[in-house]
Amino acid sequence: MVFKNKKYAIIFLLPALILTGILIYYPLFATIYYSFYNWRDFSNFRSFIGLENYKRLIEDIAVHKALLNTMIMLIAVIIFQIGIALILALLVHSISKGYKFFRTVYFFPVAISGTAIGLMFYLAYGYDYGFLNSILTSLGKEKIVWITENSALIMVLIPIIWQYVGFYFVIFLSALSKIPQDFYDSALIDGASKFHRAIYISIPLIWDVISVAISLAIVGTFKVFDIVYVITGGGPMNASQVLGTYLYNVAFTGQNQGYASTIGTLIIILGVILSIFANRVLKRDRITY
């Protein structure tokens, strides 16, 4: 009977396994494979060049800049995206009314595509007719060039952080709702303030959820492309270039698919290593209740 049940489970799992292999694992290993080849213009002809693409990767200044920007973005996303989402979830969890309203309002940006958000902020940052300069003009102030070499990375970070705060907010709020009310009632009798209840009860009890959210944020940062590409295209002077946009430029503007595969391999390796590192560092004994 047990074998029979397992047989049906395997039969139902098999289509998903095949699709995952075709759509995820085949492109992944193909990317690593092509990283060892000189492949241009999507030609049928490729020549094996060993580690030459990796030597170029190490010496490429644009990769250094894109990697640095990606790391800055990663730190900012963990601090602000996860941090703001957690604070909002703790605040909403502490109130008795408006729960569904705040959940809907904060989650709404997640439902908008990255391209649409990028276009919205691109129009807001515009010099001549942008929303921000329209406000300054109406207040009698001079217009500002919002996207410069010094400010470009911050300007693209704002919509990136804003887009997924609601996603992590809903996850944290769901985790907080599962904490038994008895814990808070006992702490209230002992005279614990809302701040102390959040620090000593709420956060420790949902720590495993916070750890998963940080891992998701790390992986998500390496996939950032659409918002940066629409707002700045990685410029000016690579000031907002991240690994995703640089890969696209090399593959489709530079028509060098072999080198682009090497950058893709770097993104995969960094994502896996940092996710494992985060899981190890943030791992704690699970609290059951």
Percentage of the chain modeled with pLDDT above 70: 96
- Say yes or no to pLDDT of 283 above 80: no
d(CA 128, CA 226): 24
- Interstrand relation of 47-48 and 37-38 (parallel, antiparallel or unpaired): antiparallel
Which of 1 and 105 is assigned the larger pLDDT? 105
How far lies 55's CA from each of 60, 166, 272, 285, in Å? 9, 41, 21, 42
* Residue 47: φ, ψ to 5°: -125, 135
- Say yes or no to pLDDT of 2 above 70: no
Instruction: Return mean pLDDT, the chain.
Output: 88
d(CA 287, CA 35): 44
**Which pLDDT does position 190 carry in this prediction?**
83
User: What does the pLDDT average to over 162-177?
Assistant: 89
- Going by the DSSP 8-state scheme, the letter that residue 48 receives in this structure is E
Question: What six digits make up the tokens of 278?
Answer: 């985060």
d(CA 121, CA 108): 16
**pLDDT tens-place string over residues 55-82:** 999 999 999 999 999 999 999 999 999 9
**pLDDT tens-place string over residues 264-280:** 999 999 988 988 888 88
Contact assessment for residue 225 and residue 156, using Cβ atoms and an 8 Å cutoff: no
- Going by the DSSP 8-state scheme, the letter that residue 240 receives in this structure is T
Contact assessment for residue 247 and residue 260, using Cβ atoms and an 8 Å cutoff: yes
pTM of this structure: 0.85
End-to-end Cα spacing for the chain: 34
How far lies 155's CA from each of 175, 228, 276, in Å? 32, 9, 30
Contact assessment for residue 242 and residue 227, using Cβ atoms and an 8 Å cutoff: no
Listed in sequence order, the residues at least 6 apart from 212 whose beta carbon sits closer than 8 Å to its beta carbon are 171
